[in-house]
Amino acid sequence: MAEEPLTELHLDVYGTREGPWNPEHGEIEIPDDWAFLPSGDAFVTRTVKAAGRYWVAWRPRGRNRPHRRLEGLWAPAAAIAEAQTAAAETAERRERQREQGARQRARSEDRYRTELAAAILVYLGFDATHMDLAHQIADGAAGHAAIVGSGRVGRTRKLPLEDRAALAARAWIRHRFTDYEDRLNSLYGDDLLLDELDYRGIKHDAHSAVDAFLAEHRPPC
């Protein structure tokens, strides 16, 4: 059975002093009708890959570079040219789609922040005389906790909204209405072992301080 031509395989190709090299096939030659496409244009890269024939170009690890670095693709020059032409012809349409998608995401995030803030207000349950403060906490906590990509509690969709609201509100109060941060900053001293032991106590005290803050601003039982 004849071996499949290397040009039909999706190889990892490393640029070395001796030339292109692949772990399974050793030194290889770039076909005359192929060209190099640098990384950077996602649309062109996807289009070239969809055409089927390409090698992935890597920069090898080095003394000051612990990981290999993606450099681009080797692929038929005709496929690259066609992809670049398609990119130019569809650039305006794709830009409109990106802008539309960004607006949709922004509207979705606005709705979520509003929803989270409303849930925080319910959790706070402040007396009518403290509603201005309640809105201040709800808006601040929701805006902070729901930042995209932050990894904060507001992005934890695995939790019910009510739990996210409670955690976000308590974190906001802990950092802004208790001495938690001042005491936390005091941990950065000479005795790190003692600081680590103290941290749990500071967290416990902050939890109690948040409970007291909430009780102070909620209607009397």
Q: How confident is the model at residue 215 (pLDDT cuts 50, 70, 90)?
A: very high
Give residue 59's region: left, alpha or beta (phi > 0; psi -120 to 50). Answer: beta
pLDDT digits (tens, 9 = 90+) for 136-195: 999 999 999 887 665 566 566 788 999 999 999 999 999 999 999 888 777 765 555 556
Indicate if 25 and 125 belong to the same structural domain.
Answer: no
Indicate if 117 and 201 belong to the same structural domain.
Answer: yes
Which residues are within 8 A (CB) of 82 and not within 5 positions of it... i.e. 6 or more apart? 47, 51
Indicate if 123 and 174 belong to the same structural domain.
Answer: yes
Where a domain ends, among 61, 89, 117?
89
> Residue 192 belongs to what domain range?
104-217
pLDDT > 50? residue 56: yes
Contact 187, 146 (CB under 8 A): no
User: Which tokens belong to 163?
Assistant: 């739990």
Indicate if 84 and 110 belong to the same structural domain.
Answer: no
Q: What's the total number of domains in the chain?
A: 2
Query: How far apart are the C-alpha atoms of 53 and 64, rounded to whole Å?
Result: 32
Question: To 5 degrees, how large is the angle CA 174–CA 180–CA 182?
Answer: 135
Indicate if 150 and 54 belong to the same structural domain.
Answer: no
Indicate if 85 and 119 belong to the same structural domain.
Answer: no
- Of the listed ranges 63-67, 71-75, 133-137, 158-162, the least confidently predicted one is 63-67
CA atoms within 13 A on the CB side of 111: 6
Q: In this structure, what is the dihedral angle of CA atoms 162, 166, 168, 169, given to the nearest 10 degrees?
A: 130
Q: What is the pLDDT of residue 161?
A: 92
* β pairing state of 69-76 and 19-22: unpaired
Indicate if 28 and 132 belong to the same structural domain.
Answer: no
Q: Tell me, yes or no, whether 96 lies in a domain.
A: no
Residue that has been written with the tokens 């070239």 in this structure: 48
Q: How confident is the model at residue 1 (pLDDT cuts 50, 70, 90)?
A: very low
Q: Tell me, yes or no, whether 135 lies in a domain.
A: yes
Indicate if 119 and 212 belong to the same structural domain.
Answer: yes
Query: How far apart are the C-alpha atoms of 183 and 203, rounded to whole Å?
Result: 10
Q: Tell me, yes or no, whether 1 lies in a domain.
A: no
